[in-house]
Each structure stands twice: as structure tokens, then as C-alpha cells.
Structure 1
Amino acid sequence: MITKTASHSEETTVPQTVLVTGTSSGLGRRTAEVLAERGHTVVATMRAPQGRDRAAAEALIKTGDGSPGRILVVEMDVRDDESVDAGVAAAIERAGGLDAVVNNAAYAITGIGESVTSSQLLDVLDTNLVGPQRVTRAVLPHLRPRRSGLLVFLSSGAGRLTVPGMGAYSASKSGLEALAQAYRYELRPLGIDVSIVQPGAFPSNLAASQVAGADENRLADYAEVLQLAGAFMQQIGAIFAGPQPPDPREVADAVADLVDTPSGQRPERVSVDRFMLGRAVTAINAGTKAPTDALLRELGLGAVVS
């Protein structure tokens, strides 16, 4: 496990074709831009490139036209099996193949756990956890015969630890951590790399578009806990307002660094957070890996450990 900042390698890299989900805004859009800037072909997916996302799609294509690489836009809704299958097929047809996939599409839900309805929880799990599973299952039949490729899962620092008011979102990202970890073990013998990127809090559309628990009638007894959650959010706000606030480019560079890293050398997890949460997440990553790897070796599974 390593911690990344905005720096990246200046070495010459081999251009690759990378599918990135959820590129209409936020970290996904910035990642697509940086990958094209580094000379890669990007297949940027979004739900409605001919509709409400049209301006974002046109802006990305224009950015690609002015970059060493290029950006193609493909329609995809990660919550729909048919849309994912069609989107991956279109990506392979238009780009001539895929070398890497960045599972980025997600949204945040906040609020005291009791205020989050079952339908809200199912929806966030469908997007943040089942969505990456859909995309991964759609691309693996293309990657497996080649015995090469890279899957990047955009998790979160909240996938390693949680605070009051973040249980539903953390649950979706904790599940993604487990899913991606299993894929790393399973795909290692097939020559396909899997890495997990753990952004901290960044000023992006994810934060701006977060959804609150819908059942406010359940909150009457939570005044003290809400105050604690509010104090935490105030600390995050202070970081955003500081002299060197977190920059979404840091996450985009971390993803691009993974794409540029030679096969077999990509790390298991990359924490992208220069602030207090990043220190905790890095410590949790390190503290978990050693005993987990030791247990797997004892169980005769050393071949999947890296």
C-alpha cells in the first residue's frame, strides 16, 4: 500500500485504451482528461451523452481533441445490465479493444443510519457496488483471453473507516473493497492486475450531489450525534477552505500512474489523501495486509498474494 500525491512519473509510457465510468463530472471527468493528457485513448462513459450529459460529453471530446491522446464518449448506466453490456461492446468496437477499466461511477448518501430507507440503501449499493460488478463481468471476457489488463476500483477512505452519518456510503465502499480484493486474488494467475484507489474528501460533484437520509421523522433522538457529525463536516470544510486544499487532479494522477505502471508491479491499494483521514487509512491498509497475506500463505494460497 502506498500514499499518492499529485506527482507522477515523467517516463515515457505505452499508450493504452482505458474505459472510465461516471465521467460526466467530478473525479471521473478529471481522470479521463488526465489520461488523455498522458497520451491514452479514453472511453468515457456517462448515462445520457445525447441528453442531460450532452454538454459534458462535448467538453470531454473537445479536451481529447487538444490532447496527445483522445476521448471517445459512450452511453452507459452502471445500474442496468443491458446498458453496461451494450456500452462495453460499443467501447471495444469504437476503440478497437480495451487495456484497462476504471470503475469510478458512484454517488454519496449521508445521514443517520435509521433515516436511510431500505430503497435508498439498495439504490446506493446498486450504483456503488453492483455497478462495478456489472462492468467488470462485461469486460473480463475481453481481457481474459489476452492474459493482460488492469481493473481499477475507485473506493474511498470511507471504505476503510466510517464516522457518524456515513454508514450507508461506507457500507457500499467497504463492500467494493472486498469485491475488488477478491478479484485481485482471482485474476492474478490470469495476468490481470487489480488495484484499489482510496480517495479522501475532495471538492467534487460527489460531495455536491450527495443524498441525505429521507426519513427525517427518525432523527428526533439524534441531536447529540448530529452535532458530532456536523463538527466532522466542519473540519472537512476547513480543509477545503485552507491554503492548499485537496485537488481532484491528485486522484486522477494516481489512477493514471497505475495505468502507466508495468503489469505485475501495480500496488494493491493507493490512498490519495494528504490529510488526517489519509494517515489513518494508510495505517489500516498496512495493518491489514501483513496478517491477511500470512493467513493466505498458511492456507496454501500464496500464489495469489502480492
Structure 2
Amino acid sequence: MPRVPPHPERRPALVSGASSGIGAAVAVALARAGHPVALGARRAAVCEELAARIRAGGGGAVALPLDVTSDGSVSFFVSEAEQALGETEVVVTCAGEVTPGNAYETSTPAFEAQLQLDLLGTQRLVAAVAPAMAARRRGDIVFVTSDVVRLPRPRMGAYVAAKNALEGPAGAMRMELEGTGVRASVLRPGPTLSGMGSTWPVEVLRKVLDDWTRFGLARHDRFLKPRDVAAAVLAVVSMPRGAHVTLLEIEPEAPLNEERND
């Protein structure tokens, strides 16, 4: 059997949604591991501050504006990133947000906006880089979805729909890319303390958390930190060639019991 060549020493990475939360943590983790990183988000100035800190620490990073709902913006981001860093070896799709609301009360335009960002936005970015990765016969694509695929959560209907819909084409792409050397992986984070949800009114946040408890979706009060999810991303893309993490779910660990009765 032919041996799979190892990863190249230099593996430029693209990260969407890199201005805060999971995306920012992923960009930092990849840079610390030696990946030149392109940080993309609508808040390009915030990305530039983070990129400057990465460069000051000895890493390679560029910050570029990125609106994944725009074909032109995605094309510009990929083109400028590759001009600055070289051909893309890793893509991590972190762009997304949650607009709270009951599914049956969400307007069609609001529902569609969620799909545009979390589903179609990811497709735009991946489609802009995956063909060239397949032609080079190597690369990693990490779809950051959510544990809502396994455990739907109330008051997040559009988000649940988007993340479920995203895992479908991700699975199909994994099969389509088989034999090309490009690995398509799904990462499902559980509840994470990130910028997502930070702008919700307190009364809305309280109702969401109350419903999580009511339906058994919050067995303890711990949340993941963005750096925890970033560590999982790094583990996925750092797997040696010849091995493929297809699906990885990461959940917050419960606090230690004060006492244990055996």
C-alpha cells in the first residue's frame, strides 16, 4: 500500500468568526502550534488587535474582513489570506450566532438569516478552498457545529436547524473527499462561555436556562471555555496523516462532588 506523506511543516489556516469566543481561541491555539493564521470576521478591527498580539508573541497572523453571507467577501478573504500566508492547509468554520426565540414564533426572515450565517456561510467558505485542497491531496476542514444536533434545546429552533443541516453536507463531504487526502471533521461543542448569548436580555437568558433545567439539559452549572474547544480543534488537525477524527463532541466536566457516599 502507498504510504501517506506527512503533513507539510508549514500549514496555513483560515478561521472564520475569529473576532471573539471560540473562533478567537482557535486562532490563538493554532498560531501557538506553529500555524500561520488568517483571522476573519465582520469586526475586522477586533481581529487585527488579536492578530497583532499573535505576531508580538512570535506567531504568524493576518486579520481580514469576512462576512460569510457574502460571496464577494468570502472570495476576497480567501484570496488575500493565501496571498499573505500561502495555500490553505486548514479551515475552521467558527462563524455563527444564536438568536433566541421559540421556533414556532420566529419569523421566516429571521429563521432564514440564521441559516444564511450558520449554514450557507459555512458552505461558501468551504467551497472556496476545498477544491484546491483536494487537488493538492491534503488538508483539514473542521466544521464547528454544536451538541444541539444530538440534544435540541428550546428557544434555539433556528440555530438547531442550522447546525443539524450543516452536519448533513459535512458528512456527505467526508465521503466525497475520501481518497483525496482532505479530512472533513465535525466538532460539537457543548455549552461554552463565549460572546454568543452575551447580548441577550437578562430575562431572556433566564428563561433559556430555566428551560434547559426543565428538560434535563443542564445537569450542572459548568460551561466550557473557548480554549477548551480550541484544544479539541488542535487535536483534530494535528492527527497524523493516515488517521481521521470524523466526529468529536466536547462537553463541560461536572464539578467534583464535595462528598461521595460509596
Same topology, TM > 0.5: yes
Q: CA offset at residue 27 of structure 1?
A: 0.4
Give the 3-state SS of the residue equivalent to 2:73 in structure 1. helix
Equivalence for 1:23: 18
Matched, 1:149 2:139: yes
Question: C-alpha separation between the residues in 2 aligned to 1:102 and 1:210?
Answer: 26
Which structure has more RCO (C-alpha within 8 Å, separation ≥ 6)?
A: 1
Say which of 223, 229, 234 aligns to 1:256.
Answer: 234
Give the 3-state SS of the residue equivalent to 1:208 in structure 2. coil
Matched, 1:96 2:86: yes
Residues 31-40 or 124-133, more deviating: 31-40
Equivalence for 2:195: 205
Equivalence for 2:244: 266
Give the 3-state SS of the residue equivalent to 1:274 in structure 2. coil
TM-score, normalized by length of structure 2? 0.85
Give the 3-state SS of the residue equivalent to 1:189 in structure 2. coil
Compared CA separation, residues 35 and 67, structure 1 to 2 (3 A): farther
> Are the counterparts in 2 of residues 33 and 63 from structure 1 also a CA contact under 8 Å?
no
> Are the counterparts in 2 of residues 39 and 68 from structure 1 also a CA contact under 8 Å?
no
Unaligned runs of 5+ in 2: 1-7, 202-206, 255-262
- Post-superposition Cα deviations, 1:138-193, rounded to whole Å, max 9, x if no partner, equal 11232122011110000000122203222221111001111111111101121110
Say which of 101, 121, 124 aligns to 1:134.
Answer: 124
Question: C-alpha separation between the residues in 1 aligned to 2:70 and 2:16?
Answer: 13
Percent of aligned pairs with the same amino acid: 30
> Are the counterparts in 1 of residues 39 and 64 from structure 2 also a CA contact under 8 Å?
yes
Question: C-alpha separation between the residues in 1 aligned to 2:31 and 2:190?
Answer: 24
TM-score, normalized by length of structure 1? 0.73
Equivalence for 1:70: 60
Question: C-alpha separation between the residues in 2 aligned to 1:150 and 1:72?
Answer: 20
State the 4+ residue runs in structure 1 displaced beyond 4 angstroms.
225-228, 232-238
Equivalence for 1:47: 42
**How many pairs are equivalent?**
245
- Post-superposition Cα deviations, 1:64-113, rounded to whole Å, max 9, x if no partner, equal 12334311112111000111111111111111111010011000122211
Unaligned runs of 5+ in 1: 1-12, 212-224, 277-306
Question: C-alpha separation between the residues in 2 aligned to 1:63 and 1:250?
Answer: 20
Compared CA separation, residues 233 and 161, structure 1 to 2 (3 A): closer
Compared CA separation, residues 238 and 92, structure 1 to 2 (3 A): same
Give the 3-state SS of the residue equivalent to 1:202 in structure 2. coil
> Are the counterparts in 2 of residues 101 and 152 from structure 1 also a CA contact under 8 Å?
yes
Matched, 1:239 2:217: no
Q: CA offset at residue 230 of structure 1?
A: 6.1
The structure whose residues are more often helix, as a share, is: 1
Letter in 2 for 1:265: A
